[in-house]
Copies of this chain bind each other. A is one copy, B any other.
Amino acid sequence: MLSYASFIVTPKHYVLSGMGVWSIFMADSRTNSAAGPPPAFGADLHLELRGPGLRAGLTDALREAVRTGRLATGSRLPASRSLAADLGVSRTTVVDAYADLVAEGWLTARQGSGTRVATRVPEPCRAAPDAPRARSDEHRPRYGLWTGEPDLTNFPRTQWLTAARRALTAAPHDAFGYGDARGRMELRTALADYLARARGVYAGPERIVICSGFHHGLALMAQALRVRRVRAVAVEAYGLDLYRDLLRNAGLHTPPLYVDEHGARIDDLARLRGVGAVLLTPAHQYPTGVALCPERRTAAVEWARATGGLILEDDYDGEFRYDRQPVGALQGLDPERVVYFGSVSKSLAPGVRLGWMVLPEELIPEIVTAKGHGDYMTSALEQLTLAEFIASGAYDRHVRSMRLRYQRRRDELVTALRQRAPGIRVAGMAAGLQAVLELPRGTESSVVQAAARQGLAVRGLTQFGYEVADCGWRFPERDALVVNYAAPSDSAWAGALDALCRVMP
């Protein structure tokens, strides 16, 4: 076979190298095309024939020559018979290649005028710019305490692969098809059991809809709320811009609720108009770290019942509480008024794009509609893998192991600060992946900058604050750092902690 030979034929330099790359040197049509009628195909045009077959290679090479302008508009191509002879290929190969390119619109074939480069060919493409480069290492902070990610170095690769193998081996054929909008039943069953057991969620598999994580779930919810003609979703005054922006881009207003040491001030809901839902992080407010107090949990459910509103419960890190058993989900208080959102983003890794919504019954058809009546987002194979991972107990083991790690880190953080920066209080509960360090008034931005100079990326609480214009209250003047102590790898943690202590005022 030609594709493994390697030789050169002169004078027209057909180069056939190994690995299927075949080059032909012929005239570059540009050299002749400055004036006069478009020249015929001549010597020294370099065509690289790639791909499995001769014909495909020739087609690609000619297309590329036209595209890049090396074969100018109007150029006449050699007769198929002569090109075939020149290339030492069958005439059919050339005829077919020309026909392909005529079909694609690159060439035209007319009786009497032969095959030419189409008059309306694309302008030569601009060279594509380089992809935006990853930040170079010199600008990259040595220690990152700012992302919302768990420790990625501890992803259980082996166990995940084991689950994937089992899941893929056992999967019925229809798992590879277009799926149910609610997600795979295997996963919903495993989750129903897990969520009831670990989070006190009232969850039958029939109430669960799988999504690609909280972002996707919230987007679906926003769509459903818009269809219900909801105009506003109240949010906590501290949180991630990302989710507020998502709601706003869906056309919803997002009035903020003041957050104090008991969580979001639920009473204020009554004063807001047109609010059809409230987005809360009841177990562990993000990022201030307080729990929504019992009275407010109850008040939120009462508000929802009285107004027909919905509570959107983002249980982003509910598995991680260190001083006591995790507080159960708010959803259990009223599964018909609370939409529960969870995902593997903190418990396992964000790169596994899997999350779940536990829905009030009446909302299920609306979310299925928002999904387009099919599962167009979430990989069935990965759903089956997670189902197996949970059912085999690997998920519980991983969560327990990570809980111990994070607890240890939090303890080390508290101890180190007590010794080296005794004026700094660690606020929020002993839970989750992040802690809030209270700073002396007016020092937040200077501490963040000092940290950056030490190669330590960390964010001030102010960056999570809602921009409040006219909502009847003002943010407390509060300077603090939000420290995601979970993010560094084990090997980076000691250095990160040391750097953090050094920049404390």
A residues in contact (CB < 8 Å) with B:
50-53, 55-56, 59-60, 63, 67, 96, 99-106, 108, 118, 120-123, 125-126, 128-132, 147-149, 152-153, 155, 157, 160-161, 164-165, 168-169, 171, 173-179, 185, 196-198, 200, 202, 204-207, 212-213, 215-216, 242, 245-246, 291, 293-295, 297-298, 301-302, 324-325, 327-328, 330, 332-336, 345, 349-354, 361, 372-382, 396, 489
Q: Are B100 and A298 in contact (CB under 8 A)?
A: no
11 A-B residue contacts at CB 8 Å?
Answer: A53-B325, A59-B325, A60-B200, A67-B202, A129-B361, A131-B206, A152-B173, A161-B164, A175-B351, A178-B350, A242-B373
Q: Lowest 8 CB-CB distances: which A-B pairs, in order?
A: A351-B380, A215-B376, A131-B206, A176-B349, A105-B297, A176-B351, A128-B204, A152-B176
Whole-angstrom CA separation of A93 from B105 in the bound complex: 77
Extra 16 A-B pairs, beta carbons < 8 Å, given A105-B294, A106-B332, A379-B379: A59-B325, A67-B202, A96-B324, A106-B333, A126-B361, A129-B361, A131-B185, A131-B204, A147-B177, A148-B178, A149-B178, A152-B174, A178-B351, A179-B350, A351-B380, A353-B376
Give every chain B residue within 8 A of A125 (Cβ-Cβ): 202, 335-336
* Cα–Cα, bound, A99→B328 (Å): 11
B173 & A153 in contact (Cβ 8 Å cutoff)? yes
Which B residues are CB-close (under 8 A) to A352?
A: 176, 379-381
Q: Decide if B302 touches A120 in the complex (CB within 8 Å).
A: yes
Is A147 in contact with B100, judged by CB distance below 8 angstroms? Answer: no
What residues of chain B lie closer than 8 Å to A157, measured between beta carbons? Answer: 168-169, 171
Look across to chain B and name the residue whose beta carbon is closest to the beta carbon of A371.
B215
| Nearest CB on B from A52, distance (A) | 8
Specify which chain B residues have a CB less than 8 angstroms from the CB of A325 in the assembled complex. 53, 55-56, 59, 96, 100
Give the contacting residue for A215; candidates B153, B176, B372; CB below 8 A: B372
A123, B332: Cα distance in complex, Å = 11
Q: A152-B176, A176-B351, A352-B176 are in contact. Are A100 and B324 (CB under 8 A)?
A: yes
Residues of B within 8 A of A153 (CB): 173
Instruction: State the Cβ distance, A505 to closest chain B Cβ, in Å.
Output: 31
- A112–B35 Cα distance when bound, in Å, is 104
| A224 CB to nearest B CB, Å | 12
A157 to B100, CA, bound (A): 34
Taking a contact as CB atoms under 8 Å apart, the answer to whether A103 and B327 are in contact is yes
- Taking a contact as CB atoms under 8 Å apart, the answer to whether A489 and B376 are in contact is no
Q: How far is the CA of A372 from the CA of B241 in the complex (A)?
A: 11
| Distance between Cα atoms of A388 and B148 in the complex (Å) | 28
CB nearest to A207 among chain B residues: B128
The reply to whether A205 and B351 contact each other, CB–CB distance below 8 Å, is no
Chain B contacts for A106, CB-based, 8 A: 332-333
**Chain B residues with CB under 8 A of A179:** 350-351
A118 near B168 (CB under 8 angstroms)? no
Cα distance, A56 to B212, chains bound together (Å)? 29
Alpha-carbon separation in the docked complex, A328 to B96 (Å): 13
B67 & A294 in contact (Cβ 8 Å cutoff): no
Determine whether the beta carbon of B377 is less than 8 Å from that of A353.
Answer: yes
Query: What residues on B are CB-neighbors of A295 within 8 Å?
Result: 105
**Cβ–Cβ contact A297 & B104, under 8 A:** yes
| Chain B residues within 8 Å of A373, by CB | 242
**A497 to B169 Cα, complex, angstroms:** 30
Most buried by B among A60, A174, A295, A379: A379
Bound-complex Cα distance A100 to B328 (A): 8
What's the nearest-Cβ distance from chain B to residue A21, in Å?
Answer: 11
In the assembled complex, how far is the CB of residue A303 from the closest CB belonging to chain B, in whole angstroms? 11
Nearest chain-B residue to A217 (Cβ)?
B376
- Give Cα A202 to B63, complex, Å: 10
Cβ-defined contact, A377 with B379, below 8 A: no
CA of A288 to CA of B27, assembled, Å: 42
A458 to B202, CA, bound (A): 41
Q: Is the CB of B104 within 8 A of A327?
A: yes
In whole angstroms, what is the CA distance A339 to B205 when docked? Answer: 39
- Please name all residues of chain B whose beta carbon is closer than 8 Å to the beta carbon of A332 when the two chains form the complex: 63, 67, 104, 106, 122
Q: Closest residue to A169 on the B side, CB-wise?
A: B157
